[in-house]
């Protein structure tokens, strides 16, 4: 059903020709998980899935995944049965790997790939994205890669006292984690199911207990590793350790069995540092290790194994929820002439709400460049804006409600076709004698993975 005023409004704005060639296609952009219930919620605006099974993988693929064989990276993901993967060290290959898997969705900023649609809400800030299991039914996911050096277990191995080890954790990984913790706390408090994958570059406090001392040569004393403590204190569950409770019987080592397997350096330390956490999950069903055949605790074998890290894939039951009201561009950088996809949760639907394209900071009431209704998809969906008539610069799409109030705004940049990115660093933020970029760290405000910078590093992680 269409309303006359929306037809008039859309027709008047069409003269701007920004939509020419791009169309205004809509669609749910979703796959309903197999076996999920199909019933409308009480409001009648979206399907309510109820508890749904999802397989989540964390996989550090080792400097782009090509040091051994990118095809084996793809094979490992296929054999794992994962639905969504948090990659680390994808080096710009996240979209390529998703394509090889036949998956349509990749969040290159977060290095998350998925068989289900990924939506980056404007409040995500490079911290989390939504996995849309059906229109109006989402769970959130974060993916992190904490700094590697100095590496705590090596400090223990080399004789550092506990106080020094904990001080090092505070200065490195805990300092990095602070950008994430408030966002995760807010999501969990709001009842949003939240999945967390990552190469944490630290063991779990659950694995370095008094009972574990001496089980590996470098485990000289128990350590309450602060990163995993902080994560669990927010309400996350360590999915592997929830299934395999006895860390002595099932250590689940993920770092490392070789560079590549089976070549190891002398005196190498081995620990479980690749983790999948879940908050708000209904049930943790299973958790498995993906790695080279014949190694301890490997459940899914791949040979030759393509990484220095083993993967972990956990099967969880989650109860997806309705997301908050939002508008979210599908890409923050668009070449002029390329259609711009825009996801939305429009609470009033096509009868009252509209999506308005404006210059950055502009008022959607007085400075609209183009506008579209939510279309027949109703309250949750995606539309495409054309960008052929836009000059390079910063823009936004604004979700406007029934009373002409701004409900949400999502920024993006238009660049000239073929434009090449450049990066400059303010020298005030670089300490003399310190590396300007730290390999093995993925941060929402400094994610330059895949740009090809020269890295100064002690340890590939």
Q: Which of 276, 275, 371 is nearest to 327 (CA)?
A: 371
Domain boundaries, the chain: 4-29+330-415, 52-318
- pLDDT digits over 22-37, tens only? 333 333 343 445 445 5
The tens digit of pLDDT for each residue in 88-112 reads 999 999 999 999 999 999 999 999 9
CATH topology of domain 52-318: Deoxyribonuclease I; Chain A (3.60.10)
Read off the pLDDT band of 402 (50, 70, 90).
very high
The pTM of this model reads: 0.86
Looking at the predicted structure, is the pLDDT value of residue 18 above 60? no
Which residues, 6 or more positions from 433, have their beta carbon under 8 angstroms from its beta carbon?
Answer: none
Predicted confidence (pLDDT) at residue 117 exceeds the cutoff of 90: yes
Q: How many C-beta neighbours within 10 Å does residue 348 have?
A: 17
> So what's the pLDDT on residue 448?
40
d(CA 117, CA 78): 18
**Average pLDDT in the chain:** 87
Q: Does the pLDDT at position 184 exceed 60?
A: yes
pLDDT > 70 in the chain, percent? 84
Q: Could you tell me the pLDDT band of residue 1, with boundaries at 50, 70 and 90?
A: very low
Share of the chain above pLDDT 90, in %: 76
* Residue in the block written with tokens 């710009």: 92
In what helix (H) or strand (E) does residue 188 lie, and over which residues does it extend? Answer: helix 181-189
The CATH code for residues 4-29+330-415 is 2.60.40.2840
Phi, psi of 264, deg, nearest 5: -125, 150
């Amino acid at each position: 059903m269409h309303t006359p005023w929306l037809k008039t409004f859309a027709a008047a704005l069409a003269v701007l020709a920004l939509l020419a060639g791009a169309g205004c296609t809509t669609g749910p952009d979703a796959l309903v998980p197999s076996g999920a219930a199909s019933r409308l919620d009480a409001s009648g605006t979206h399907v309510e899935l109820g508890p749904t099974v999802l397989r989540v993988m964390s996989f550090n693929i080792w400097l782009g995944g090509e040091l051994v064989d990118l095809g084996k990276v793809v094979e490992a993901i296929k054999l794992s049965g994962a639905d969504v993967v948090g990659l680390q060290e994808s080096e710009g290959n996240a979209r390529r790997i998703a394509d090889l898997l036949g998956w349509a969705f990749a969040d290159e900023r977060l290095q998350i790939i998925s068989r289900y649609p990924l939506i980056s809400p404007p409040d995500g800030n490079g911290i989390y994205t939504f996995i849309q299991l059906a229109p109006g039914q989402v769970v959130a996911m974060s993916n992190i890669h904490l700094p590697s050096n100095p590496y705590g277990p090596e400090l223990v191995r080399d004789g550092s006292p506990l106080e020094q080890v904990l001080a090092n954790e505070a200065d490195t990984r805990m300092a990095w984690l602070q950008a994430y913790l408030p966002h995760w706390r807010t999501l969990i408090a709001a009842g949003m199911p939240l999945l967390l994958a990552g190469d944490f570059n630290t063991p779990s406090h659950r694995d370095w207990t008094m009972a574990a001392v001496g089980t590996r040569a470098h485990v000289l004393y128990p350590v309450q590793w602060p990163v995993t403590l902080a994560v669990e204190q927010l309400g996350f569950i360590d999915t592997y350790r929830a299934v395999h409770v006895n860390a002595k019987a099932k250590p689940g080592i993920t770092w490392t069995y070789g560079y590549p397997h089976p070549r190891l350096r002398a005196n190498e330390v081995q620990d479980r540092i690749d983790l999948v956490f879940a908050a708000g999950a209904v049930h943790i069903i299973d958790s498995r290790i993906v790695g080279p055949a014949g190694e301890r605790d490997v459940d899914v074998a791949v040979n030759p194994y393509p990484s220095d890290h083993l993967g972990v894939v956990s099967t969880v039951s989650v109860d997806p929820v309705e997301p908050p009201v939002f508008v979210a561009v599908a890409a923050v950088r668009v070449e002029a002439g390329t259609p711009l996809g825009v996801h939305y949760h429009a609470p009033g639907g096509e009868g009252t709400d509209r999506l308005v394209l404006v210059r950055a900071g502009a008022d959607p009431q007085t400075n609209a460049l183009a506008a579209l209704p939510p279309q027949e998809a109703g309250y949750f969906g995606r539309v495409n804006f054309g960008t052929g008539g836009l000059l390079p610069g910063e823009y936004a799409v604004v979700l406007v409600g029934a009373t002409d109030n701004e409900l949400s705004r999502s920024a993006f940049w238009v660049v000239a076709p073929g434009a090449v990115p450049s990066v400059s660093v303010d020298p005030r933020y670089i300490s003399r004698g310190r590396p300007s970029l730290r390999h093995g760290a993925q941060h929402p405000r400094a994610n330059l993975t895949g740009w090809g910078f020269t890295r100064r590093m002690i340890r590939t992680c």
